[in-house]
């Protein structure tokens, strides 16, 4: 009788283990994040068209840096925008709203602001105070770029390499304090250069320990002399490629950044070039007038794709589209639904954290966001 009872107990124990293991294998993988940058530097943000249920995070661009502190340049409109963005949580309670500090035009003072321990502490406190005051969810740093030129006149120095990491450590400490106050997780993320040389000037492997997500700006690629993709997933065979999203991801992983923290960038806007009079095929032809920031995808899709002399082509190797007008010699590089499918598939295949895009209002009909949602369903 005792032997029988022991046998039954062992059977039950093994059954419980089997059920637990089966349950563990059925736990769904973490759904990819979808981070949308929403701008406020032009005034009040129209949030009525933002489909909050299709986003996991909104990064509000931008907060400036003045006197070595995070600074709301447009206080009146910024505060209204914070309230409007927080109100989107009525549609999506899990939505998280972060401030993004810096950007291309407001990165000039980063190097000075994080030069010493005391300066870093003051900067970190000022950044976290903003999200404390306005009940936001985290801080995103968009420093373009530590240790190298960004916009003309930006301050940069060799010490940026270590100070970049120490800045994140300081902000993380302040966020930990806020977490204890609120009982809620507070995020620290960064937007980084989607090119390998960015890794030479930073310690991304070391810095990643303080970060929740690393948003690779895998766009604005282009050589100055040839018509090229600005947001290609892979190398093109039509011109010598040195940059692609795939190259960036592999370089970051090799530098010690966990793939699970890497977020791939998608461009919701195009880049335009005027090509030489003898241009025949667009891609790879000689550029006459250098690349300029183009219109958003809604305009491109509705007004230009296979219209007004523009023909859309697909570069199968690069998984990137482009438009070429043989009469006017205009060339436009951009992301479309087809390229977004391939980027989302790449994220899933390589178990990256998700995707982010710049920026929401550039595709106000939601063509690309709808495709992202469909791909991650």
Please name which of 347, 250, 243, 370 lies closest in space to residue 298, comparing C-alpha atoms.
Answer: 370
The predicted structure's pLDDT at residue 25: 44
CB 115 within 8 A of CB 158: no
Would you state the structure tokens that stand for residue 326, as one six-digit string? 């043989």
The predicted structure's pLDDT at residue 241: 87
Q: What is the pLDDT of residues 11-29, one digit of tens each?
A: 544 444 444 444 444 445 6
The predicted structure's pLDDT at residue 27: 46
Whether 113 is in a domain gets the answer: yes
Whether 171 is in a domain gets the answer: yes
Average pLDDT over residues 287-316: 96
Whether 305 is in a domain gets the answer: no
Average pLDDT over residues 306-318: 98
The predicted structure's pLDDT at residue 291: 74
Whether 6 is in a domain gets the answer: no
* Domain range for 187: 19-269+334-375
Whether 101 is in a domain gets the answer: yes
The predicted structure's pLDDT at residue 224: 79
What's this model's pTM, rounded to 2 decimal places? Answer: 0.92
Share of the chain above pLDDT 70, in %: 92
pLDDT at 331 over 50: yes
Q: Supply φ then ψ for residue 33, to 5 degrees.
A: -75, 150
Q: What is the pLDDT of residues 348-372, one digit of tens each?
A: 999 999 999 999 999 999 999 999 9
pLDDT at 5 over 70: no
144 carries an active-site annotation = yes
The predicted structure's pLDDT at residue 17: 45
Q: What is the pLDDT of residues 208-242, one digit of tens each?
A: 999 999 999 999 998 779 999 999 999 999 999 89
The predicted structure's pLDDT at residue 22: 45
Q: What is the pLDDT of residues 177-189, one digit of tens each?
A: 999 999 999 999 9
CATH number of residue 142's parent domain: 3.20.20.80
Whether 77 is in a domain gets the answer: yes
Would you state the structure tokens that stand for residue 187, as one six-digit string? 């995020």
Q: Supply φ then ψ for residue 186, to 5 degrees.
A: -120, 135
The predicted structure's pLDDT at residue 290: 81
**Structural domain count of the chain:** 1
Q: What is the pLDDT of residues 274-286, one digit of tens each?
A: 999 999 999 999 9
Active-site pick, 51, 125, 144, 359:
144
Share of the chain above pLDDT 90, in %: 90
Q: What is the pLDDT of residues 24-76, one digit of tens each?
A: 444 456 899 999 999 999 999 999 999 999 999 999 999 999 999 999 999 99
SS (H, E, C) the chain: CHHHHHHHHHHHHHHHHHHHHHHHHHCCCCCCEEEEEEECCCCCCCCCCCCHHHCCEEEEEEEEEECCEEECCCHHHHHHHHHHHHHHHHCCCCCEEEEEEECCCCCCCHHHHCCCHHHHHHHHHHHHHHHHHCCCCEEEEECCCCCCCCCCCCCCCCCHHHHHHHHHHHHHHHHHHHHHHHCCCCEEEEEEECCCHHHHCCCHHHHHHHCCEEEEECCCCCCCCECCCCCCCCCCCCCCCCCCHHHHHHHHHHCCCCHHHEEEEEECEEEEEEECCCCCCCCCCEEEEEEEEEEEHHHHHHHHCCCCCEEEEEECCCCEEEEEECCCCEEEECCCHHHHHHHHHHHHHCCCCEEEEECHHHHCCCHHHHHHHHHCC
Average pLDDT, the chain: 93
The predicted structure's pLDDT at residue 4: 41
Q: What is the pLDDT of residues 135-178, one digit of tens each?
A: 999 999 999 999 999 999 999 999 999 999 999 999 999 999 99
Q: Are strands 69-71 and 57-66 parallel, antiparallel or unpaired?
A: antiparallel
The predicted structure's pLDDT at residue 19: 43
């Amino acid at each position: 009788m005792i032997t029988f009872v022991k046998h039954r107990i062992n059977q039950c124990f093994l059954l419980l283990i089997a059920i637990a293991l089966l349950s563990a294998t059925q736990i769904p993988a973490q759904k990819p994040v979808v981070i949308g940058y929403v701008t406020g530097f032009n005034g009040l943000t129209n949030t009525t068209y933002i489909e909050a249920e299709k986003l996991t995070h909104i990064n509000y661009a931008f907060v400036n840096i003045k006197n070595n502190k995070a600074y709301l340049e447009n206080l009146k409109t910024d505060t209204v925008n914070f309230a409007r963005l927080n109100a989107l949580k009525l549609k999506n309670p899990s939505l998280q709203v972060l401030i993004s500090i810096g950007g291309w035009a407001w990165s000039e003072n980063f190097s000075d602001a994080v030069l010493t321990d005391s300066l870093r502490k003051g900067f970190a406190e000022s950044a976290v105070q903003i999200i404390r005051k306005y009940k936001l969810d985290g801080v995103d740093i968009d420093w373009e770029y530590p240790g190298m030129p960004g916009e003309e006149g930006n301050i940069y120095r060799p010490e940026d390499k270590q100070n970049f990491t120490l800045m994140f450590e300081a902000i993380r400490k302040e966020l930990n304090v806020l977490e204890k106050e609120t009982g809620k997780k507070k995020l620290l993320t960064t937007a980084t250069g989607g090119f390998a040389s960015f890794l030479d000037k930073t310690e991304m492997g070391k810095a990643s320990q303080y970060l929740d997500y690393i948003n690779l700006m895998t766009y604005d690629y282009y050589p100055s002399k040839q018509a090229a993709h600005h947001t290609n997933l892979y190398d093109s065979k039509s011109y010598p490629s040195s940059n692609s999203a795939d190259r960036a991801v592999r370089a970051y992983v090799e530098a010690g950044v966990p793939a699970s923290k890497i977020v791939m960038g998608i461009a919701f806007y195009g880049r335009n070039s005027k090509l030489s009079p003898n241009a025949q095929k667009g891609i790879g032809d000689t550029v006459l007038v250098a690349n300029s920031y183009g219109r958003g995808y809604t305009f491109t899709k509705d007004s230009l794709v296979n219209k007004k002399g523009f023909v859309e082509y697909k570069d199968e190797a690069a998984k990137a589209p482009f438009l070429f007008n043989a009469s006017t010699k205009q060339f436009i590089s951009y992301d479309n639904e087809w390229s977004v499918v391939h980027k989302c598939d790449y994220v899933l295949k390589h178990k990256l954290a998700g995707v982010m895009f710049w920026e929401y209002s550039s595709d106000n009909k939601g063509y690309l966001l709808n495709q992202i949602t469909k791909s991650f369903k």
